[in-house]
């Protein structure tokens, strides 16, 4: 069977139109964010919405929970949807909810979203104190049940400690190298070296604030970055995690960045003048445009096998290693 196409992070304003675009683009699996700042009960409401979509559009999408579901998606010409949290807020202060969430189908959880959490430090804090006592226990519990530790929005020390403390490879599902674009959310070389040496995965983001040149980033420039990352870290540890926020209103940016913790807008990687969603680069607007990335990567020194891995084969291997309980 051919190598799958996997996007390991989207937070689009999902709709039947977007599901149809996934199929038109041949996307076999997507990891979708179902929680930013939600409590456990609020997260369950989001699961209910997804259940309605699965029921209404069984010809387009279905719930994915294991690596074999990627192959099932290919065989049935559908897209497997995998769930993840961008914040640990749904587990509240209860470590027992880690296993409950895994039983509900959650396969990824970030330990932080920009801020300090009960588990670790986010990338916008002034002081990074690393994993907390609860954080270390939650990482062990995530390892046990088969939930991936995601450090996409975490600070450097916390990320390095998560890599060291985890008994299973972790992921940075949606970020780019800091040496290419010096955004706070992009990851330092030291972090990416440690991540990949431990068997972890980096998913490249096309969110404009993470791109060199922002919305004006060229496909050639993006692909040259991937090529250099493959040289530094090994192509087998790289994938795509677009951070696609298609069709979301600007009000969602406020929820993402502010949640309930602040009374004022946290502009994060943007500014007061560009607090909303920035325009996407011309070569990637939606799920139908993955072929542009593949074509661009094939113009670099990367082999076809390397490109196949980056476009989804590496994530499939990671799913096979990560989603089952120990």
| Dist CA 186 CA 119 (whole Å) | 20
pTM over 0.85: yes
Query: If you average pLDDT over each of 11-15, 255-259, 261-265, which comes out highest?
Result: 11-15
Partners of residue 238 on adjacent β-strands: 202
Per-residue model confidence as pLDDT tens digits over 263-311: 887 766 554 445 678 999 999 999 999 999 999 999 999 999 999 999 9
Which of 138, 131, 36 is CA-nearest to residue 94? 138
Per-residue model confidence as pLDDT tens digits over 121-150: 999 999 999 999 999 999 999 999 999 999
Q: Model confidence at 260, in pLDDT bands (50, 70, 90)?
A: confident
| Dist CA 258 CA 114 (whole Å) | 10
Which of 122, 130, 28 is CA-nearest to residue 71? 28
Domains of the chain: 6-322 (3.20.20.140)
Task: Provide the strand spans (E) within 236-295.
Answer: 238-240
Q: What is the mean pLDDT of residues 99-122?
A: 98
Q: At what angle do helices 189-197 and 156-165 cross, to 10 degrees?
A: 10
pLDDT exceeds 90 at position 8: yes
Of all helices (H) and strands (E), which one includes residue 148? strand 148-150
Per-residue model confidence as pLDDT tens digits over 179-198: 999 999 999 999 999 999 99
Per-residue model confidence as pLDDT tens digits over 34-69: 999 999 999 999 999 999 999 999 999 999 999 999
SS3 category, 290: helix
pLDDT exceeds 80 at position 72: yes
Cα within 13 Å of Cα(206), Cβ side: 31
| Dist CA 43 CA 22 (whole Å) | 24
Q: Model confidence at 79, in pLDDT bands (50, 70, 90)?
A: very high
| pLDDT of the residue at 158 | 98
| pLDDT of the residue at 122 | 97
Q: Model confidence at 258, in pLDDT bands (50, 70, 90)?
A: confident
| pLDDT of the residue at 1 | 84
Across the chain, how many H-helices and E-strands are there?
12, 9
Q: What is the mean pLDDT of residues 167-173?
A: 98
Per-residue model confidence as pLDDT tens digits over 196-245: 999 999 999 999 999 999 999 999 999 999 999 999 999 999 999 999 99
């Amino acid at each position: 069977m051919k190598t799958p196409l996997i996007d390991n992070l989207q937070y689009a304003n999902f709709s039947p139109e977007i599901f149809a675009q996934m199929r038109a683009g041949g996307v076999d699996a997507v990891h979708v964010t179902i929680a930013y700042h939600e409590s456990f009960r609020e997260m369950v409401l989001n699961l209910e919405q997804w259940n309605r979509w699965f029921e209404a559009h069984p010809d387009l999408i279905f719930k994915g929970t294991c690596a074999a579901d990627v192959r099932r998606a290919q065989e049935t010409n559908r897209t497997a949807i995998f769930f993840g949290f961008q914040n640990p807020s749904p587990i509240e202060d209860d470590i027992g909810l880690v296993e409950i969430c895994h039983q509900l189908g959650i396969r990824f959880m970030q330990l932080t979203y920009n801020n300090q959490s009960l588990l670790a430090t986010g990338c916008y804090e002034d002081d990074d104190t690393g994993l907390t006592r609860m954080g270390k226990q939650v990482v062990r519990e995530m390892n046990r049940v088969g939930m991936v530790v995601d450090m996409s929005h975490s600070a450097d020390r916390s990320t390095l400690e998560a890599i060291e403390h985890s008994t299973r490879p972790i992921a940075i599902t949606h970020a780019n190298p800091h040496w290419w674009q010096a955004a706070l959310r992009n990851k330092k070389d030291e972090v990416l070296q440690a991540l990949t040496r431990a068997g972890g995965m980096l998913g490249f983001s096309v969110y404009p604030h993470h791109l060199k040149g922002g919305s004006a980033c060229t496909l050639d420039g993006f692909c040259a970055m991937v090529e250099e990352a493959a040289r530094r870290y090994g192509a087998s540890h790289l994938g795509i995690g677009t951070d696609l926020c298609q069709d979301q209103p600007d009000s969602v940016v406020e929820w993402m960045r502010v949640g309930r913790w602040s009374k004022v807008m946290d502009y994060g990687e943007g500014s007061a003048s560009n607090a909303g969603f920035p325009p996407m680069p011309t070569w990637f607007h939606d799920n139908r445009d993955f072929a542009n990335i593949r074509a661009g990567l094939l113009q670099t020194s990367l082999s076809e096998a390397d490109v196949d891995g980056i476009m989804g084969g590496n994530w499939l291997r990671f799913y096979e290693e990560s989603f089952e309980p120990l």
